[in-house]
Amino acid sequence: MPRMPQLQWDLFCRVVDNFGDVGVCWRLAADLAARGERVRLWVDDARALAWMAPGGAAGVELQAWPDAEDDTRPVGDVVVEAFGCELPPAVLVRIAEKAAEAPRKPVWINLEYLSAEGYVERSHRLRSPQMHGPARGFSKWFFYPGFTAATGGLLREPELMAQREAFDRDAWLAAHRIAPQPGEQLASLFCYQVPSVEALLGCLDHAGHERTLLLVPGTAPPLPALPPSVRVQSLPYLTQPDFDRLLWACDLNFVRGEDSLVRALWAGRPFIWQIYPQHDGVHELKLQAFLDRFDASPDIRAAWRAWNGLQAAPVAGPDRASWQAQCLIWRKALLAQTDLASQLLSFVAESL
């Protein structure tokens, strides 16, 4: 099959809270650009990219969110509306104009949040005709990342697993002035808050490791009093590649949000995910859907629920050996699926 000509992508992102939205969008933009596409990333708050991606990425052009009603800048071949961010009216006008004038209509994609819930498979790649507004008569397409072959897959750069295999743990730790003591396990802590110190300590308790070096990147939430067996080292905010390597270097990872969940899955280490809490309790259903999707063992389920404040902490954390084995099984299953950027490229090729 001949390769599609290079396309211009316009990826729109609004930062709702924390760093997850722009983190996912930057990874996608950089991944597409590395495959030969041209990408403009439109974002209303790009401050986090100063540490996530200080060097930028070849082929990615960063643009401020187009607030002006009379903005006349043209749109590209593909318009990606990330996480229902609602495109500005001026952009909708440009989409309609290009659809009427250009030899081919732009492909308009609504890239949704990641979930393991059943509706994702039912909603993936559905058409959404626009009945009102400047783009009336045009259609956008729902694209759902996910954990099965019937979804849009997960972000995974083509060279990622080869880099993981070649990772020099000792060299990376030394470069970041991280010096574990003999017999000390490494654990990373990236969380919204510490909902249960009992759940934290239960998971850190691991036969063969009486002590833990807890690595905390970025601005840490208030940490509770920890026993002398747990040593804490604060790290600066890490670039996205270095955050990946932090997860690779650790024996146990506590992660939060969408982007970090996916990177923890690729790390293949035991981990616990803190899902973004929602006032209506929907986050509990999303967490349960993930655990069900991967048929997590009862002890992993209990640890994850306790860490998310959904039940009391168990007396002990999951058995580390079986936990490690389950994480590798999860990763193997996901590696058999086509990644998100590849699926987007295929979908656009079909739609143009």
Q: What is the CATH number of the domain that holds 343?
A: 3.40.50
| Residues 228, 214 share a domain | yes
Q: What is the pLDDT of residues 288-322, one digit of tens each?
A: 999 999 999 999 999 999 999 999 999 899 999 99
Q: SS3 for 194?
A: coil
44 is catalytic: no
Average pLDDT taken over every residue of the chain:
92
242 Cβ neighbours under 8 A, 6+ residues apart: 176
The Cα–Cα gap between 150 and 124 comes to: 8
Q: When comparing pLDDT for 141 and 279, which is higher?
A: 141
- Active-site pick, 21, 112, 242, 244: 21
Task: Tell me which H or E stretch contains 249.
Answer: helix 240-249
Q: How many CB atoms lie within 10 A of CB 64?
A: 10
If asked whether residues 130 and 22 sit together in one domain, one would say: yes
Helix%, strand%, coil% for the chain, nearest 5: 35, 20, 45
* Mean pLDDT to the nearest integer, 25-30: 98
The span from the CA of 338 to the CA of 98, in Å, is 31
Specify whether 21 is catalytic: yes
Question: Domain limits at 305?
Answer: 160-335
Q: How far apart are alpha carbons 113 and 147 in whole angstroms? A: 12
Compare 98 and 251 and report the one with higher pLDDT. 251
pLDDT at 68: 67
Match 């961010």 to its residue by tokens.
Answer: 85
Give pTM, 2 decimals: 0.95
Q: How confident is the model at residue 2 (pLDDT cuts 50, 70, 90)?
A: very low
321: its two tokens: 């050996």
In a shared domain, residues 312 and 346:
no
> Which of 92-101, 120-129, 337-346 is predicted least confidently?
92-101
**Distance of CA 182 to CAs 10, 186, 282, Å?**
50, 11, 43
304 part of a folded domain: yes
Residue 175, φ and ψ in degrees, nearest 5: -65, -25
Which range is least confidently modeled, 34-43, 276-285, 321-330?
276-285
On the question of pLDDT at 101 being above 80, the answer is no
Q: Are residues 122 and 107 in the same domain?
A: yes
CA angle 52, 53, 56 (to 5 degrees): 165
1 domain-assigned: no
pLDDT band at 113 (very low <50, low <70, confident <90, very high): very high
Quick check: is 231 in a domain? yes
- Verify that 291 and 344 share a domain, yes or no: no
Q: What is the mean pLDDT of residues 321-326?
A: 96
**CA quadruple 66, 71, 74, 78: dihedral, nearest 10:** 30
Residue from 37, 77, 244, 258 carrying the catalytic annotation: 258
Provide the number of structural domains found in the chain: 2
Instruction: Clarify whether residues 209 and 69 are in a common domain.
Output: no
